[in-house]
Every structure is written in structure tokens, then in C-alpha cells.
Amino acid sequence: MSIFIITLTLVVLQTPAQCSGANLKIGVPENYDGIFPWYLAKLPNLPATSTDVVVTGDDEGIFGVEAGFLYALKPLDREKQPSYSLQVSFSASVQSQSFMVEVCVIDKNDNVPVFIEESMRGSVQLGLLKGISFMQVGASDRDDRNTAHADLRFSLMDQTPRIPSSHMFFIDSVTGEVSLTEDGASTLDPEMCGRYKLSVMVKDMGGKPNAFFSTGIVTVEVTGNTWASPDPVRLQENLPGPYPIPISQVKWSGGLVEYSLEGEFPEMLFTVSREGVISLNAPLDRETQDQFQISIVVERPDGREIAKPVELRVMVGDANDNRPTFPTTQYHTVVKELAPRGTEILTVQAADNDDPKTDNVRIFYRLVGQIPESPRALFRVDRDSGVISVQADNLEGAAPQYTLTITAEDAKGLNSSCTVVVTVQDENNNPPVFTPHEYGPFHLAEDAPLGATVTAVSAWDADERGGDSWQVNYRLESGNEEEVFTLVTDKQTNEVSLILSKVLDFERESEYILVLSAQNPVALVRGRYGPASTATVSIYVDDINEGPILSQSHYEVTVREGEEPGRVIATIRGYDPDSHPIRYSLRGDTKRYFSIGKYSGELKTVQALDREENSTYTMEVMAEDGHTHTNLSLNIPYLSPEVYTVPFTISDSSSPPRSTFINLPVTVCPCNVRGNCRTAAKQLQGMPTVQSTVGILLGTLGVIGIILIVVFVRLSYQNPKPPNKTNQEREPLRISL
């Protein structure tokens, strides 16, 4: 038996203590049905040598102490008394002591939940939304509410009758709130069924299968409701007041609710009172908004919407208080100058913000002004449509632009105006013509640089300057098959420049006759292009002496050592574009080992060559034509006998040209038939005698000749050109001295 008691005591000690505020806390389950006394716990604060142990705080004498253990003599009932505060007093070492023991009775699920009301009744209003509670059922359980023993769950077992749906209602398992399902909210009809009986159940233990439960009946009455959309309201704009003005009313008959308004309207324009009275608080403007769709919302005091909103439509009546206006104050349009009478140019449309279903928006159009004025009526506007059209037969000779003033007026006389800028577009009814029809002849040296301008001409067009009808496109119709010339047109002036685009060659082509045509880039609408739209340009190419060209720029010749002198070892060939004879000479052969034929170009050895002395010989071959000279003549009938200094500039035809400057003394005197002076000329300062002057003149002329030959031959050798290139030579003098 003692072993059994100890085991029970251990079990009790392992039970979690639920009490607080004592020296020792013990949790004891209620409704113990074992052997008594029931030993609850060992009292650790009680010394083994203690005497006179007394337990107080237990009026029923349930508790006691034996051998240091606290025991109970009968079962405990939590619902009767959930806890006991005991004081254990004892004597130890001739001293009286005590301590507190708190015994907490641990709950067992020993109570069945019951509904609070025996007869549960409620009513549901037609129009109530799904999930909105219209009543609540309640139940209680005597077990500890902090445990699952009193955790109650509600459920709906049945509905009578099951029309028009078997699932018309829903009960919240936790709160017991009863509401409509989706089917119930959409099909509830008091005429079909005005009363339902619902079988409901309540369970403890959170609704577990082994829980205690009880059942009850809930009676639900279906009632009608006044919650419906009110009739539409029509209000005149600009009402004089006073405000607010009541315009409609709604009412929810299911209990205490609050109303609110939603919609597209300024804040506080419409308001609703607690009684559901809807009021207008300010004047309306139909042109700003011609109607309002107001949603009226009904909510519980906690802010939860309980039914679908109803709609109130407010229509605003019109008053003729708006003038017609154009969308823009100025229009721009274009009309062709040859447009016939009746041609529509533009349609202007004014808008009136009054009600389009009334005569307040009927608009009439008038042409009230034209700048500049004209002796004939050029334009008109249709009174009803606003179409602007050409009134004259055509607009030839008219101004390039007109500004029209158009008014729009309604039946009340309210009006506004706009301006229409009409640009008269020039049409291509005049072809370009040349005056004169022949240009030239123009002289162009064959060495003229590329890009040189031969001439600039223009064709005249009577159409409006600057327009497409006035612009001229030029083309070379003939005479330029090899594309020697190109055209460049100035679009601002219509002037065309004839530009050299290929190198000229007098020997190949000495004259060009070009046929130039002029046309507009747009098609002619009247007239045609004829001979007056073409012109002839004549160009003569002036011949320029061109230096000879060698067939090669580098020659290599191999000669055997000891070769007999006089043998031809190579033949140099040259070409002269002007077909002048070519003379050959050598330069750089200082020891005269070689010779070249003056006209044949045959290169020969003059001396036997010694390889050990020199294995390579390098020299230059000079080729010159028989036309490297100029003439000096007088440009006035008489010049007094004297020695004059004439400055000379000698230039070659390279690009850029190379030149040399000299001062040439020239004696002017009466000559005999042999060309000798009959009288002495006046001496130059620093030249004491005629003999010295003649000597200087002859010496100078000789030096000039040598210089000219050397310079031109060297330049021609250093800058050889193909046969189709040109050399430049300036000839300021034509007559021999």
C-alpha cells in the first residue's frame, strides 16, 4: 500500500502547478476517484523533527499532514472551488513556524456546454450582403475558460425549409454570428419563404469529435426592406438657393446604420444626413458636369458595409448661358491661285457648351472682315456649316496672303470670332526663259585648273520668287558627252555656274558648244517648255605649250667592261603633246664617258669603261622641245631712245608653278636694216659707255637663253606628266626684240 501511495504522490508532483503567491505551489486534478487519503505532495519546508503540525485555511477539513506529506480526504471540484490557500504551522527547536501552501485544482472536462437562451430568434432583412451578421447565438461551459474544455465551436446542422437553396445561412464557428451565404444573399425572398428554422450545435474541446455538445433551434424571420434606389432627380443649373436643398431620401429598415455618399463630384457638393436625406449644397453647372451618379452606402456603426449601395441619378438641366467658341483663335490654310469658284478651303467649327439637345447650341457663321481688301469678292463662308470657299473665278493676281475674320453666333446673340490666314499658293504656270539665248564665246586655257568657273547665267521665271514653281533645274542637253563641265546652281538666285570638272586638252578638243536647258522641279500646270527655255554656251580652248614627256622615269643599262666606244647602248624615247621636235642632252656625266643623240636619243659610250675604276654610272637625260622662247615688243607707238630695265618672271607649268625673277636691260634706239642702232641711246646710271651696254645686253640675253633652257628642261624632267595632263606657260611677250 505504501508503495502505491508513493507512486501516486510522484504523479501529482509531476502535474504542472497553476497557482502563484505561496511558498509551495501544488497542482491537483479535480474529481480524483482513487484511494483516500490521497497524498498530494511532500512538504520540503517541514523539518523531520517538527511537532504540533496544524493545517489551517480549509473549512471543510479536506487537507492534512502526515509524515511530512500533504494529503486530501476527498475529491476536489474546480467548479466549486478552483484553489485553496493553506497555512502549515509546526514547532521545531522549541520555536513555532509556518509556511503557505497553494493548492490549485486542475480542471477536467466534466461540464457540457449549453446555449444561453433556450429560445433563439432573429430576423434577416432583404438585401443584406453575404457574410454580414444579423444575429448571434451564445453558449457557456463551466469548465476552465483558459483551457480547451471551455473552447466552444458552433456549427449549422440543418435548415428548414431548404428553399430556394439548402445553404441559405452560415454560422461563424467561433463567434456564433449568423449570416447569409452567397445563395442566401442572392435568392432570399420573403414571399417564397418568410421563416426558417436552423438546427445548431455547440461543442467544447474546440469541436473535437470526443467533445461534449448540445443542440438548439434558431428561428429566423425574413423581413422586407425599404433599401432601394430612389427615383432620378432633374435639377436646373444655377439654382438661386438657399442651400442646402433636399433632393432625395433613402432608408435602411434593419436597425441603426450610418449613410455615406460616393461618386464623381466635388467634395461636399452632395451630403446625406443620419436620416438618409440627400441634399445639394451649391449651384450646379451643366457645362462642367451634366449628370451625377451618386452611390449611397449603408454601414454598421463599426464601418462594415451591410448591403449593396443604391444609386441616385442627378441630371442637370440647361440654360443658354454659353457663347459659341472656336477651338483656336487663328487658323492657317492654303489655296492654289488657279482654284476655281466653289473650291472649299477650310471648315471652321465653333462649339457651344449648352445642351446639344436644345436650340441653345445652334450656331450661325459670318465673314465680317478681310485684310487686305479687294475690289472683288474672293471668299465666302457658309452660314450653317462654316465651310470657307473661293467666291471669285480664280485668284490670279491676288495678294499672296489674306486674313479673314469669321464670327460664330447662337440664337441668343452670344458670339465669338476667329481669324483665318489664307495663303494663296503660286502654281507653276510660267516656264523659265533665257535672255539672251546665246552666251560666249568664252576662252579657256587648256591648263585651266579644275573647278574654274567658265561663266554664270540664269533663266527668268515669272512665278513667285522662292517657291517650287520659281526654282529652276538646269541641265546640259548636248555638247558635254564626256562630262568635261558640271553645273552648280544657287537656289537663292537661280543662277547657274558652268564649272570645269575635267582637264582640257587643246590637241583633243579645241571647242565646245553646250546646249543648256532650264525647267522647274514641279510640273507645269499651264504652258510648255520651248526654245525660250534653252540657251547655247560657246567655249574655245586656248592652246598652251606643254613640255615633252619621257617614256620612263628610270633607265638601267648594262655595258661590258672594255666595250668598244661609239656603240649604242640604249635609246631614249620622249613624247611632246604639242608635236614639237625633242632635243636630248645629258647632265651629270662630268668625265664625258657617254653621249646622246640630240634628236635620236641614242645613248653611246665615248670612252672604254673600266669596272674596277667605277662599276656604276648615274646621269640625267634632259628632253626639251624646240619651242622654250618669248618675244618682247612695244605697246606704245614711240619710246625715247634709252636703256630700260624690264622685270621678267619665268614660270613652269607645274602645280604649284615654280618661277624665277630677273631684270632684263633693254636698249631702245633707231635701228638700221641690220638691226644695229644708228644713234647711241642714253646710258643707264652706272653704265659709262655704249660698248659696255651692248656687251651687257648680249651677255645677258645669252645667259637668259641658257637659264630658260636649263630651268624648263630640269622642271620637265622632275615633274613628268602623262600625255593627257597639261603644262602651263605664260607668254607676256609676243614680238621679237
Statement: residue 11 has pLDDT above 80: no
- The DSSP element (H or E) to which 14 belongs, if any, is helix 2-14
Neighbours of 233 (CB within 10 A): 16
Threshold 0.85, pTM exceeds:
no
Statement: residue 599 has pLDDT above 60: yes
Contact, 32 vs 11, CB < 8 A?
Answer: no
Residues 102 and 150 in one domain: no
More confident residue, 547 or 204: 204
Q: Tell me, what's the pLDDT at 150?
A: 95
In angstroms, what CA-CA distances link 468 with 395, 415, 472, 532, 533?
18, 41, 8, 20, 17
Residues 211 and 124 in one domain: yes
Distance separating alpha carbons of residues 105 and 107, to the nearest angstrom: 6
Residues 145 and 213 in one domain: yes
Distance separating alpha carbons of residues 22 and 365, to the nearest angstrom: 104
Residues 183 and 123 in one domain: yes
Of 501, 520, 542, the residue that ends a domain is 542
Residue 619, domain member (yes or no): yes
Statement: residue 529 has pLDDT above 70: yes
Contact, 713 vs 620, CB < 8 A?
Answer: no
Kindly state the cell numbers that stand for 202. 455547440
Statement: residue 206 has pLDDT above 60: yes
Residue 142, domain member (yes or no): yes
Residues 219 and 232 in one domain: no
Contacts with 442 (C-beta within 8 Å, 6 or more apart), sequence order:
454, 455, 537, 538, 539, 540
Q: What is the pLDDT of residues 230-271, one digit of tens each?
A: 999 999 998 988 999 999 999 998 778 999 999 999 999 999
Looking up cell 507653276, which residue turns up? Answer: 428
Residues 197 and 236 in one domain: no
Of 510, 542, 574, the residue that ends a domain is 542
Residues 203 and 102 in one domain: no
Structural domain boundaries enclosing 195: 114-223
Contact, 303 vs 261, CB < 8 A?
Answer: no
Residues composing the chain:
737
Q: What is the pLDDT of residues 473-512, one digit of tens each?
A: 999 999 999 999 999 999 999 999 999 999 999 888 999 9
Distance separating alpha carbons of residues 606 and 565, to the nearest angstrom: 5
Q: Tell me, what's the pLDDT at 162?
A: 95
Residue 647, domain member (yes or no): no
DSSP result, 604-634 = EESS---TTT-S----EEEEEES--------
Distance separating alpha carbons of residues 265 and 289, to the nearest angstrom: 9
- The DSSP element (H or E) to which 718 belongs, if any, is helix 690-718
Percent of the chain with pLDDT over 90: 61
Confidence of residue 526 (pLDDT cuts 50, 70, 90): confident
Q: Tell me, what's the pLDDT at 393?
A: 92
In angstroms, what CA-CA distances link 414 with 320, 386, 411?
9, 17, 7
Lowest-pLDDT choice from 23-27, 337-341, 716-720, 728-732: 728-732
Q: Tell me, what's the pLDDT at 485?
A: 97
Kindly state the cell numbers that stand for 367. 465673314
Statement: residue 702 has pLDDT above 90: no
Residues 96 and 119 in one domain: no
β-partners of residue 494 are: none
Query: Which of 618, 551, 546 is CA-nearest to residue 584?
Result: 551
Neighbours of 489 (CB within 10 A): 17
Residue 628, domain member (yes or no): yes
Confidence of residue 728 (pLDDT cuts 50, 70, 90): very low
Residues 212 and 232 in one domain: no
Statement: residue 29 has pLDDT above 90: yes
**Sheet architecture: strand order including 213-223:** 120-125, 213-223, 195-203, 153-160
Kindly state the cell numbers that stand for 44. 520540503
For 163, phi then psi, to 5°, come to -130, 150
Percent of the chain with pLDDT over 70: 86
Angle formed at CA 574 by CA 573 and CA 575, multiple of 5 degrees: 135
Statement: residue 706 has pLDDT above 90: no
Q: Tell me, what's the pLDDT at 650?
A: 74
Residue 689, domain member (yes or no): no
Contact, 138 vs 176, CB < 8 A?
Answer: yes
More confident residue, 658 or 578: 578
Contact, 534 vs 518, CB < 8 A?
Answer: yes
Kindly report the CATH number assigned to the domain that includes residue 472.
2.60.40.60
Confidence of residue 320 (pLDDT cuts 50, 70, 90): confident
Of 261, 291, 317, the residue that ends a domain is 317
DSSP result, 279-324 = EE-S---TTT-SEEEEEEEEE-TTS-B-BPPEEEEEEEE--S----
Residues 526 and 437 in one domain: yes
Single-letter amino acid, residue 531: P
Distance separating alpha carbons of residues 343 and 22, to the nearest angstrom: 113
Q: For the residues 450-455, what does the mean pLDDT come to?
A: 96
For 370, phi then psi, to 5°, come to -145, 130
Contacts with 396 (C-beta within 8 Å, 6 or more apart), sequence order:
337, 338
Q: Tell me, what's the pLDDT at 669?
A: 85
Residue 468, domain member (yes or no): yes
Question: What's CA 422's distance to the chain center, in Å?
Answer: 34
Distance separating alpha carbons of residues 105 and 40, to the nearest angstrom: 12
Residue 642, domain member (yes or no): no
Question: What mean pLDDT, rounded, does the chain reach?
Answer: 86
For 389, phi then psi, to 5°, come to -140, 170
SS3 category, 183:
helix
Residues 219 and 299 in one domain: no
Residues 138 and 192 in one domain: yes
Q: Tell me, what's the pLDDT at 13?
A: 37
Q: Tell me, what's the pLDDT at 708?
A: 56
Residue 736, domain member (yes or no): no
β-partners of residue 223 are: 125
Query: Which of 661, 134, 64, 731 is CA-nearest to residue 445?
Result: 731
Statement: residue 661 has pLDDT above 80: no
Q: Tell me, what's the pLDDT at 590?
A: 86
Confidence of residue 701 (pLDDT cuts 50, 70, 90): low
SS3 category, 706:
helix
Q: Tell me, what's the pLDDT at 8?
A: 35
- The DSSP element (H or E) to which 197 belongs, if any, is strand 195-203
The number of distinct structural domains making up the chain is 6
Contacts with 699 (C-beta within 8 Å, 6 or more apart), sequence order:
none
Q: Tell me, what's the pLDDT at 698?
A: 54
Distance separating alpha carbons of residues 163 and 666, to the nearest angstrom: 144
